[in-house]
Amino acid sequence: MMKKVIAAVVLISLLTVAIVQAMEKKTEQPDTASTASVNKEGLAIGAKAPDFELKTLTGETVKLSNLKGKKVMLNFWATWCPPCKAEMPEMEQFYKEKDKDLVILAVNIDPQLEVQKFVDENKITFPILLDAEDKVNEAYQILSIPTTYFIDSKGIIQYKFTGAMTLDIMKDNASRLK
């Protein structure tokens, strides 16, 4: 009988130690997880905007580094995305009213779909870039669309907006760029 009690106490002690160690590991994981999620939420404010070269719908080539000295509003979107569709008319209005030293680039992440038809139907006149190989999307770590980066004239990311922007949000973020 005494052996059974001692065995039970040892077993309970071992289980307790195992549970405590497991709990300590779980409390350590959120730090690692939060660091990982920060990295996966896109590029940080203050980071240098990764350079890229993409073709537009009209066949022209746009290279971000060639725009140094200009402010850039870099928008990632798709034709099937309802919030993307919602912000397009205001982006078009902003494009027509913007300062000359601001460039608007809209990177389409689903160029296999009917992008030209979408552009024609919505009367979009700002440059639409096609990320056919998904390289720019990956470089900018886009997890949800629309996502827009506001890049200053030195090529540094100053602001980031996830979700559909209003005209006021576009104006506010762009006006704070140097």
What is the average per-residue pLDDT within 44-69? 95
What is the average per-residue pLDDT within 124-140? 95
Quick check: 138 pLDDT over 90? yes
* Ranges of each domain in the chain: 1-40, 53-175
Average pLDDT of the residues of the chain:
86
- What CATH code would you report for 53-175? 3.40.30.10
Quick check: 47 pLDDT over 70? yes
Going edge to edge, which strands form the sheet with 61-63?
61-63, 53-56, 128-130, 102-108, 71-77, 147-151, 157-162
Higher-confidence position of 56 and 12:
56
pLDDT in the model for residue 4: 76
Question: Would you say the pTM of this structure is higher than 0.85?
Answer: no
Least confident range from 3-7, 54-58, 101-105, 166-170: namely 3-7
3-state DSSP percent of the chain in helix, strand and coil, to 5 = 45, 20, 35
pLDDT in the model for residue 15: 62
Nearest by Cα to 109 from 72, 86, 84 = 84
What is the average per-residue pLDDT within 132-149? 95
